[in-house]
Amino acid sequence: MGVEVWVRPFGSGDEEALAGMIASFRAELARFRGKDVEPDLASAREELAEFREKGYPIYVAELEGRLVGYLVLRVEGDVVWAEQLYVEPGFRRRGVGSALYAKAEELCEKLGGDTVYNWVHPNNHVIIAFLKKRGYTVLNLIELRRPWPGEEPSRKIRVDTHEFHY
């Protein structure tokens, strides 16, 4: 792409910018569930504090002199989970997500793991396409739950011979 994306570990001076992106990430996820919510900066600050308290590796991406994306990882032995990967909409498809995700894969390899694990909402076609392009094509686990009170799932998905709502 020709643009230089700088990925580095999160630093204390990044807190406000990162909290803003976490709030945007959460609002975007809510839209996958059909809810239109405003970004909640206070909750995002709490979530960031929790990530830091748990020692989760956090990486940020800089482009054009500002933070434009982040990646939060959870590590359990040699297993690396990509907890959150977010790139600001105006900076997507410029290599930011790939540069961040490469850090997850590097850490996984360093720890002796075989793959980075990802939880993905079935409606998140962008991240699914991103992961497939990187070779993530094996469906690993399915999370099942009862419908929430008042929830009326509008779509169905088939996995092998089973049909589920979402």
- Does 66 map to a domain? yes
pLDDT at residue 2 in the model: 54
The parent domain of residue 56 ranges over: 6-139
Identify how many contiguous H helices and E strands the chain contains and give both numbers.
4, 7
Name residue, tokens 């800089």.
62
Give the tens place of pLDDT for each residue, 134-158: 999 999 988 899 988 988 888 888 8
The answer to the question of residue 67 being in a domain is yes
Q: At what angle do helices 15-32 and 41-53 cross, to 10 degrees?
A: 110
Burial track 102-141 (b if 16+ CB lie within 10 A, e otherwise)? bbbbebbeeeebeebbbeeeeeeeebeebbeeeebeeeee
Query: If DSSP codes are grouped into helix, strand and coil, which group holds residue 164?
Result: strand
- Predicted pLDDT of residue 55: 97
Are 98 and 75 contacting, i.e. CB atoms less than 8 angstroms apart?
no
164 lies in some domain = no
Q: How many domains does the chain have?
A: 1
Tell me the H-state helices in the chain. 15-32, 41-53, 96-110, 125-133
pLDDT value at residue 154? 83
Is residue 152 assigned to a domain? no
pTM of this structure: 0.89
Q: Is 57 helix (H, G, I), strand (E, B) or coil?
A: coil
| CATH number of domain containing 36 | 3.40.630.30
Is position 112 within any domain? Answer: yes
pLDDT band at 166 (very low <50, low <70, confident <90, very high): confident
